[in-house]
Amino acid sequence: MMVESATETIRTTPSNQNGSDGGGREGGSNGDTNGEISPVDLLHLQQQQALQAARQFILQQATGLNSPSSNEVKQSPVQVPVSMAMMTPQMITPQQMQQILSPPQLQALLQQQQALMLQQVTHTLTHTGSSQQQQLGNKQLAFQQQLIQMQQLQQQHILNLQRQGLVSLQPGQGAVPIQSLQQAMCPTDLQQLWKDVTGVQSTEEVMKHEGLDLTTNSSNTTSYSASKVSPQIPHHPLPNGQNSVHTPKRDSSTHEEHTASHPLYGHGECKWPGCEALCEDMGQFIKHLNSEHALDDRSTAQCRVQMQVVQQLEIQLAKESERLQAMMTHLHMRPSEPKPFNQPLNLASTMSLSKRETEGFPEGLPHPPTSAATPITPMRQGPSVISSSSLHGVGHIRRRNSDKFCTPIASELAQNCEFYKNADVRPPFTYASLIRHAILEAPDRQLTLNEIYNWFTRMFAYFRRNTATWKNAVRHNLSLHKCFVRVENVKGAVWTVDEVEYQKRRPPKMTGSPTLVKNIISGLGFGSLNASYQAALAESSLGLLNSTTLMNNSTGASLNMLHIGHDDVSSTVEQVNSNGSCSPGLSPQQYGHQIHVKEEPAEMEEDSRPMSLMASVTQNLSMPGDERDMEEELPTEELE
DNA sequence: ATGCAGCTAAACATTA
DNA sequence: CTAATGTTTAGCTGCA
């Protein structure tokens, strides 16, 4: 989900755009052909083309141009009342617009454009002969409906963004810093906005002209290729597409544009999709534009197709961006940030895969790629993103290790708290460890069953589904494990943790052998990298370890290895962990009781999160101890 | 091969 | 009676 991290997305986008721009420009400047346009360039160019066309329309209409001549005027931004948008010259690129406008402003812009168009339509209608009034009236009606649809669409989009946490703005809200906008909105979102605009415009055009019904608005389901091939387009789609590509906005922005440039005109050719008509000069082009590409069914259809193209490309871009994020996540591993997203996801998923899930459940697989979808989602992933893996819920993941000793779930959780809250990823802890953690976090170290349930759902997105299953498991664990003591209370029964029993559960585990770390690393199987990492490890730098972990995560094999290592390690370090890190991430409430930690050995989830690993490692390292410590720390728990 | 630990599922009892 | 809460048993899987 989606969730994707906005940041990453954003980052990606710019780069893509830039890259495309750069490429596009060069190629585009030539105007030529296209021989080898990369998908990105294509996307970029087409989007720009569509956007510009849309912008033009708005401007034109705003200026009152029903007449052809007015079209020519398009270049002057002039008159448009009000909004920045209006003030914005055509030449401004979407990116620029994005930078200039804050989310609220963008929204306002869209609304204004719509309103403006509506007004114009109305105006036009008013001045039209009575004979046509009826017809126009119908058109107007249709147009208005379309506008409404567009608005709804936009609102919906904005809401989605807000929901995803990508955008915090609210329609009426004050201006938002540009930066926030950029951060808040992922490229696709911005594109979507533009798309909406474009769509509106096209719609308007249509309306203006013949009353076509653009019912299509946005709903086209056709695929990119399909749309391109769509019968509606008389011209040669393919060539056009390419041309269009070439016509990058950049052209417009460049020198040519200033004087007499038109987004749809470049290198002496009409860049209208499917049209390669040669035009000696701007005047001729304008003429051609008005005669050949006036508002009619065909143009409308082409516009729609273009919209679809843009849409498809946006989707593609989003996917690629997600992939990139996932890749970066694996390779970069940002140590410090708690962002759950990245690593945790991967880790968790990977871990599970490596372990058992692989066999039975697909959980692991989907993650990497999917996770991105979230989105990110965040939130997505995400959110959502992540979700895929967890869905199965079923699988048992095993956590093996951790439970055995107590674990420093706290630190883990603390670090990846947000991640688990948003990502539909199964936590790598055992039910027992989670329950214990929940209880210990409570102010009085006791919780009712329902409160435990609530904690699970609050802390883990994963436990917001399949409630029957995990709740049953929770009850089962409470009853089964002696460490959970049921205490009759005035209000009813509450559950407490008997630390002694809990620790008894698992024997102090094995001692970590000094070699563990080494094994782990080697297990990861990094070639040369390993060497360096190992060296780093030698130095006992946690950071390195973290990275290593991440790296591992990326590869299944490595994961397994890692996993193993953890198990071994699992034992003791908890104290360290508990002391330090645990609480940080936890919510205030949770905070309270981390103290206990000491008692338990620190276990970490095995496989799971790199973060935790890192943390633990760090702790261990920090200690005078050696590998042994490491081992202990490494332990991870899985839960399932 | 065996035992342990953990997970899921389900049956059943008790209580609110 | 229903739903929530507890208890217990069974079958599986992974790991040591």
Tens of pLDDT, residue by residue over A577-626, are 333 333 333 332 333 333 232 233 333 333 333 333 333 333 333 333 33
User: In angstroms, rounded to a whole number, what is the distance separating the alpha carbons of residues A624 and A640?
Assistant: 33
Q: What is the 3-state secondary structure (H, E, C) of A414-450?
A: HHHHHHHHHCCCCCCCCHHHHHHHHHHHCCCCCECHH
The rounded mean pLDDT for chain A is: 48
| Nearest amino-acid residue to C15, taking CA and C1' | A400
User: In angstroms, rounded to a whole number, what is the distance separating the alpha carbons of residues A45 and A41?
Assistant: 6
The two three-digit tokens of residue A344, written as one number = 């945790």
User: In angstroms, rounded to a whole number, what is the distance separating the alpha carbons of residues A100 and A178?
Assistant: 7
Q: Does any strand C atom come closer than 7 Å to the Cβ of A562?
A: no
The phi-psi region of residue A466 (left if phi > 0; otherwise alpha if psi is between -120 and 50; otherwise beta) is left
Q: Does any strand B atom come closer than 7 Å to the Cβ of A603?
A: no
Query: Which residues of A in 333-362 have their CB below 7 Å from strand C's atoms?
Result: 355-356, 358-360
| Nearest amino-acid residue to C5, taking CA and C1' | A449
pLDDT value for A329: 64
3-state secondary structure of A469: helix
Residue written as tokens 């009813």? A492
* Count of residues in chain A: 640
- Contact between A405 and A635 under an 8 Å Cβ cutoff? The reply is yes
Query: Which residues of A in 461-480 have their CB below 7 Å from strand C's atoms?
Result: 472, 475-476, 478-480
pLDDT value for A490: 76
The two three-digit tokens of residue A192, written as one number = 């979507």
pLDDT value for A13: 30
**When comparing pLDDT for A435 and A589, which is higher?**
A435
Give the nucleotide with minimal C1' distance to the Cα of A399: B6
Q: Does the model's pTM come out above 0.75? A: no
User: In angstroms, rounded to a whole number, what is the distance separating the alpha carbons of residues A59 and A55?
Assistant: 6
Closest-CA residue to A375 (of A350, A343, A341, A346):
A341
Q: Does any strand C atom come closer than 7 Å to the Cβ of A566?
A: no
**Measured CA A399 to C1' C15 distance, in angstroms:** 10
| Nearest amino-acid residue to B5, taking CA and C1' | A400
- Helices A237-246 and A297-332 pack at an angle, to 10 degrees, of 60
**Measured CA A386 to C1' C6 distance, in angstroms:** 33
Residue written as tokens 């920090």? A622
User: In angstroms, rounded to a whole number, what is the distance separating the alpha carbons of residues A325 and A345?
Assistant: 12
pLDDT tens-digit series, residues A301-347 = 776 767 776 677 676 777 766 776 676 666 654 433 333 333 333 33
**When comparing pLDDT for A565 and A189, which is higher?**
A189
pLDDT tens-digit series, residues A21-43 = 333 333 333 333 333 334 444 44
> What are the helix (H) ranges across A506-635?
515-524, 528-539, 542-554, 556-569, 574-579, 582-585, 588-591, 610-622, 627-633
Which of A147-156, A229-238, A378-387: highest mean pLDDT? Answer: A147-156
Give the nucleotide with minimal C1' distance to the Cα of A448: C5
3-state secondary structure of A636: coil
Residue written as tokens 């002969």? A129
pLDDT value for A472: 93
The amino acid at residue A585 is: G
- Contact between A345 and A371 under an 8 Å Cβ cutoff? The reply is yes
User: In angstroms, rounded to a whole number, what is the distance separating the alpha carbons of residues A505 and A422?
Assistant: 31
The two three-digit tokens of residue A572, written as one number = 């003791």
Write out which nucleotides of chain B lie closer than 7 A to a protein Cβ: 5-11, 16
User: In angstroms, rounded to a whole number, what is the distance separating the alpha carbons of residues A135 and A141?
Assistant: 10
The amino acid at residue A19 is: G
3-state secondary structure of A622: helix
- Contact between A1 and A419 under an 8 Å Cβ cutoff? The reply is no
Q: Give all strands (DSSP E) within A202-314, no chain letters.
A: 265-266, 269-270
pLDDT value for A506: 59
Query: Which residues of A in 571-630 have their CB below 7 Å from strand C's atoms?
Result: none
Element housing A630 (H / E): helix A627-633
- Contact between A191 and A40 under an 8 Å Cβ cutoff? The reply is no
* Stretch A551-565: mean pLDDT: 33
**Confidence band, pLDDT 50/70/90 cuts, at residue A195:** very low
| Beta-ladder partners of A278 | A269
Class of residue A491 by CB neighbours under 10 A (exposed 0-12, middle 13-18, buried 19+): exposed
User: In angstroms, rounded to a whole number, what is the distance separating the alpha carbons of residues A525 and A354?
Assistant: 15
Answer whether residue A124 shows pLDDT above 70. Answer: no
Euclidean distance between the first and the last CA atom of chain A, given in angstroms as a whole number:
22
pLDDT value for A510: 33
pLDDT value for A257: 38
| Nearest amino-acid residue to B15, taking CA and C1' | A492
Q: Does any strand B atom come closer than 7 Å to the Cβ of A361?
A: no
**When comparing pLDDT for A432 and A66, which is higher?**
A432
Q: Does any strand C atom come closer than 7 Å to the Cβ of A449?
A: yes
Element housing A383 (H / E): strand A379-383
- Contact between A40 and A19 under an 8 Å Cβ cutoff? The reply is yes
User: In angstroms, rounded to a whole number, what is the distance separating the alpha carbons of residues A448 and A64?
Assistant: 69
Residue written as tokens 């994020």? A325
Answer whether residue A248 shows pLDDT above 50. Answer: no
pLDDT value for A408: 66
User: In angstroms, rounded to a whole number, what is the distance separating the alpha carbons of residues A38 and A511?
Assistant: 55
- Helices A610-622 and A409-422 pack at an angle, to 10 degrees, of 160
User: In angstroms, rounded to a whole number, what is the distance separating the alpha carbons of residues A8 and A5?
Assistant: 5
Residues 6+ apart with CB under 8 A from A361: A352, A392, A394, A395
Residue A557 half-sphere exposure, CB side, CA atoms within 13 Å? 6
The amino acid at residue A123 is: H
User: In angstroms, rounded to a whole number, what is the distance separating the alpha carbons of residues A431 and A216?
Assistant: 51
